[in-house]
Structure formats: structure tokens, C-alpha cells
Amino acid sequence: MKIENPSEFVSENSSGIRQGSYLILTCFFFAHATFHFMSQSFSVMLPAVKTSFGISPIQVGAIVTAHELAAGLSSLPGGILSDYLRRHRALLMAVCMVVFGLGWLLISFAPFYGFVLVGMVILAMASSIWHLPSLAELGLQFSNHRGAALAIHGAGGSMGDIFGPVLTGLLLGILSWQSILSMYVIVPLIMAVWIYWVFFILDKTKHKTPETVTKKKTAFKEQLTITKDILKRTHIWRVNFVAGFRGMCFAVLVTFLPLFMKEQLGFSSKSIGFHFGLLWAIGIVASPLMGHLSDRWGRKQVLVPALLYSCLLITLMAFFGTGAMFTFLIVLLGFSIRSDYSLVSATILDIAGNQVATTILGVLSLTRYLMGAVSPLIAGALYQYSGMRATLLFVAVLFACAAFIFSTVDMTKKA
């Protein structure tokens, strides 16, 4: 079954579409930054959280596992619902942003460890569902430059990754982690208003996107039929396993690098925030560049070397990651650690098309997040009983597996 291409009906270069598309891209850039600002801030807080509740490294890993499980289980119904009710994406995304903030508020007032897990489940569901329509909307708005658009969207995440850890590292010197989180909640609430306002303005000014010109509501049964056809006839599952392995790597690094820096390298909260800022800073430039190159040269030609590059750097960090060398390796890792995920998402949208984009993303995210849920527990056990070297080597193997699988993907098999 051939997926309809909106560019056949509307030129992406028309002035109205272009201006509206860039307005959406700008809004999503800062919304994505908000998600990552909060998440990476919490990564810097993990040593303090561990001390506050007196929990073990495995229990720290369980916090991330709860997040990944909740995100995965909510992604499937969230993706289907987002496609079926695509005209109400603005309201859906605004509500998700509000719920995301309330999840962090619950964690900030948590009287014991179990409340942290509950709050993590709530915010994970909101974050997971929000990302599905945002990726689909950008893939539609920039169908001819999908890699670059999603990479810019990813660079927004990198910006949040930088400012969150750095600011939080500074604030932890004078405030408790609970106080900092409760202050930060205002950020997603402001973004919720902005998201809804952007779509309201576009609708008010009769902005015509490729979707509004060609969009015909897809019946639920047809929606599932198209989804099954894409999953059956393409290599999209292989791409998804790559995303899963990469997600496993990311979950381990953001969970245990702060503990390693605090407990084994003796870094202060300020220094931990600084190093996390370094890790993500390069992504602001590297992510759009890699997205542009993947649009020109092909996804496989850019992503496979990037994954192998990450594998090499993590291996070097396992054996030589102390002192100035640790800082140097953190900077080098920044060239790939954020950029790779945008390319994987662009590849999935290349194959999925536009009609059932969020349904496909929801189905695949379920598997991807389940994979990600396992890795923090494994890494927690490795860290607790064998140390950080074993944990990092585990991550290096995952990157190598991801590179091998993506090298076998047939990019000609599209919907």
C-alpha cells in the first residue's frame, strides 16, 4: 500500500507553509529542551537522591527502569490515539507538558523512595506521548529535509542537556535537590501555554500545512492495516532494535556517570554539572550537521560510523577515564551521543511515511523502552559488584551491536 506524499499536493517551499513550519520547529526546539533540562538536571541530583533515601546503585537503576517501562507501555496507546485524533495534537501535547511538570512536583515532595518511582512513572508517560506527535509533525512539515529538522529538534534536547546540569550543579551548592525541582516545575507549565498558543495562532491565521491540505481522517481499522503492512514489509524492526540498543546505552550513561564522578572520581556537584554540560554541548552543533549530512549522503553512511565512534570512546573511557583524560573523552563523546538518536528517528519516519507515523512510533517505542528498562538494572549490578569499568564495557558492546544491526538495514525497503 502506497503512503500518500503531501509534497505532491503542496510545495514545501511556499511562503506560508515555510513560516508556519519554522514556527512549529522553534516551539518544539524549546519544548524538547525543557524535557531534557529537567531530565538531565535529575541525573546530576542522583547522588544526592541516593544519599537522601539511603538506596543502593541497583535501586538507583530501578528509578530509570520505572521511567523506561512507563514510557514504553504508554507509547503504544499514545501513538495510536495521536494518529486517530491528530487534529487535537496541540491540546494533547500541552496536556502532556503539564502532566510532565506535575510528575516532577510529586518527586520533589516525595517522603520516601516509592514516591520517586510513582512520580517517575507519571512524567515518563507524559514525555513519551508528547514525543510521538512532535516527531511526526516535524517529519511531515519537513518531509524533504527530515534528517536536518529532527536533528535541530535533537539539538534543542542538547541545549536542555547543557543548561540543566550546569545550573543544577551550581544550585546544589546552596539548595536541596527537592527545592530545585519544585522551582523548575514552572518551566514545563510555561511551555504548555506556548505550544497551545502556537497551534492556535496557526489555525487562526488559516496556516495551511501539507497535512491540513491533504489530511483525510484515517479509519481506525485502516490505520492498523497500514501499520501491519509497514511492519511486515520493511526493515523498520531492525532500525528499532538499533534505537533500543542506543537507548540502553543512554540510560546507563546518564544514570551511572554521575555516581562514578561523585563516588570514584571525587567530583563536586558543580563539577558533575560542568562535565555533563560538556557532554551535551557539542551536540548543539554536531546534531544538525550530522542530520544534514545524512539527508545528503544517506542515513547508514553517517550513523554506522557514529555508533562505532561511540563504542571506541566508551571503551577508552573504561580503561583511561580518569583526570584530564576523562574530561577529554567526555568532550569527544559529545560529537555522537546526542546526534545518533535523531538519525534513527529520521530513518523510522523515512520508512513509515505520514499516515500512521505516530502509530508506528508508538508500536516501536514499546519494544525500545522495554529494552531500555533492562539496562539500568544490569548496569546497576555491574557497578555495585564489579565497578564502573564493567559498566562502561557493557555500554561499548551495546553500541557495537547497534552499529552491526544498522549496517544490515536495507534502506530501499520503504512503505
Query: In total, how many domains does the chain have?
Result: 1
Does 39 reside within a domain? yes
Mean pLDDT confidence for 145-157 = 75
Inter-residue contact 97 to 33 (CB < 8 Å)? no
Domain that holds residue 19: 12-407
Does 228 reside within a domain? yes
CATH assignment of the domain containing 328: 1.20.1250.20
Does 412 reside within a domain? no
Concatenated DSSP letters of 140-203: HHTTTSHHHHHHHHHHHHHHHHHHHHHHHHHHTTTS-HHHHHHHHTHHHHHHHHHHHHHHHHHH
Does 415 reside within a domain? no
pTM equals 0.69
Closest CA to 376 of 128, 4, 62: 62
**Grid coordinates given for 247:** 537507548
Does 4 reside within a domain? no
pLDDT band at 398 (very low <50, low <70, confident <90, very high): very high
Q: Could you tell me the maximum CA-CA distance found in the chain, to the nearest angstrom?
A: 60
Instruction: Compute the mean pLDDT over every residue in the chain, rounded to the nearest whole number.
Output: 81
Is residue 219 exposed (0-12), middle (13-18) or buried (19+ Cβ within 10 Å)? exposed
Inter-residue contact 284 to 292 (CB < 8 Å)? no
Distance between CA 402 and CA 96 in Å, rounded?
30
Distance between CA 352 and CA 356 in Å, rounded?
7
52-73 pLDDT, tens digit per residue, is 999 998 898 899 888 888 888 8
Does 368 reside within a domain? yes
Does 7 reside within a domain? no
328-359 pLDDT, tens digit per residue, is 999 899 888 777 777 777 787 777 765 666 67
165-224 pLDDT, tens digit per residue, is 889 989 998 999 999 999 999 999 999 999 888 877 766 655 544 444 444 455 566 767
83-139 pLDDT, tens digit per residue, is 776 777 778 889 999 999 999 999 999 999 999 999 999 999 999 888 888 877 777
Does 156 reside within a domain? yes
